[in-house]
Amino acid sequence: MRNYIKLSLALVVFISMMSFSGSTTSSVKTTNKSSVAADTLTWKMLGDIKYVRKKHATYGEVEFPQVNMKLKMMQKKTVFMSGFIVPIDNKNYALSKNVFAACFFCGKSGPETIAGIKFKGGAFPKLKTDTYVTLKGTFRYNETDVEDWIYHIEDAVIISQSK
């Protein structure tokens, strides 16, 4: 009887160990197949910005952004970027580092935490506020027009989204 209990216990331990090792391997394979390309642009990179005070004809003295060299080299290049959707009006969205309640418009962040989006072909997909998306598009920065976004993602296509 004692040998039967030992044998049963050894069999349970063996089966348990084999089932865990098999599931770990398969989950790694599944993860690799379903992963999306890593972001080319991160919010940390976009946040590395300086401002210079200059005279402006309409607004007097204004702080103009100065984009770092790494971002300047990415001008008009294809990028991947993730963030939260913030509707601007009936025809425009922005990509935000933060959810709407903590976005640039609410005074909790700076203008470098948001990027204007223009979808490929002038499309206007129906997206809900705070939907987390990964976009593929062409990066453009702006250092001169104070009435425009500092960063833009043009010809954007949604690669992934989650509710």
CB 134 within 8 Å of CB 80: yes
**Confidence at residue 37, expressed as pLDDT on a 0 to 100 scale:** 56
What's the chain's average pLDDT?
80
Other C-beta atoms within 10 Å of 104: how many? 18
The domains located in the chain, with CATH, are 43-161 (2.40.50)
Q: Is the pLDDT of residue 81 over 80?
A: yes
23's tokens: 């599931």
What are 38-68's pLDDT values in tens digits? 678 999 999 999 999 999 999 999 999 999 9
**Confidence at residue 23, expressed as pLDDT on a 0 to 100 scale:** 40
What are 104-125's pLDDT values in tens digits? 666 667 888 999 999 999 888 9
Q: Please tell me the distance from the alpha carbon of residue 99 to that of residue 140, in angstroms, as a whole number.
A: 22
CB 19 within 8 Å of CB 27: no
Who's near 146: CB < 8 A, 6+ residues apart? Answer: 56, 59, 62, 64
Query: Coil, strand or helix: which one is 150?
Result: coil
Other C-beta atoms within 10 Å of 65: how many? 18
Query: Coil, strand or helix: which one is 54?
Result: strand
What are 9-46's pLDDT values in tens digits? 554 444 544 444 444 433 333 333 334 456 789 999 99
Q: Please tell me the distance from the alpha carbon of residue 57 to that of residue 121, in angstroms, as a whole number.
A: 35
The number of CA neighbours under 13 Å toward the Cβ of 64 is 14
Q: Please tell me the distance from the alpha carbon of residue 77 to that of residue 71, in angstroms, as a whole number.
A: 10
